[in-house]
Amino acid sequence: MKIRPLTIEGAFEITPVQHGDDRGRFLEWYRFDRLAEAVGHQLDLAQANLSTSARGVVRGIHFADVPPGQAKYVTCVAGAIIDVIVDLRTGSPTFGSWEAVRLDDEDRRAVYLAEGLGHGFCALSEGATVAYLCSSTYRPGHEHGIHPLDPELGIAWPVAEPVLSAKDAAAPSLAEAGVNRMLPQYEVCNDFVKSLSQIGDSR
């Protein structure tokens, strides 16, 4: 597999090597050792999520308090999505910026995003099934959202009328989240990620 760092620190695109014949295809969509080599530490898997979405559905932008935050390894197992990673870490050189990667059931790419980064996606196909590997379990009260249509973020969602959940539609803007001290801090996130590397070295 090929692992490519994105423009946002802590975010990576993973492209697997596919082997196919007239029976179908086979690929490794996750390798803990290859990811750890790129990221600097192993991804401790605590929870696996699966979501299905109709065309035009936008989910996100979601993030969790750090520590422990929630790193994610995301792929689209059926259909196609535009996956969006947003830097929500105050003090980061790329704070407020975002990057989009197409994930689908043809190229079978995945993305990895570190603790403190925001995540969302838009379903491009009639039905899209997305699988997430997560470094921590869901913690009510410690997971938050930023409105995906916040003009300050300016995310170019590829649909004219995005379909949002009631919770996402009621999420604060980036500016409101900052005023309310909801956003993760860049230095805290970096220190936490460094501690994961040290734990890995001691194993």
Distance CA 125, CA 143 (A): 28
Active-site residue numbers?
62, 132
pLDDT tens, N- to C-terminus, the chain (203 residues): 999 999 999 999 999 999 999 999 999 999 999 999 999 999 999 999 999 999 999 999 999 999 999 999 999 999 999 999 999 999 999 999 999 999 999 999 999 999 999 999 999 999 999 999 999 999 999 999 999 999 999 999 999 999 999 999 999 999 999 999 999 999 999 999 999 987 655 55
What is the pLDDT, as a whole number, of residue 198? 79
CATH number of this structure's domain 2-197: 2.60.120.10
Report the pLDDT value the prediction gives residue 190, as an integer from 0 to 100.
95
Structural domain spans, the chain: 2-197
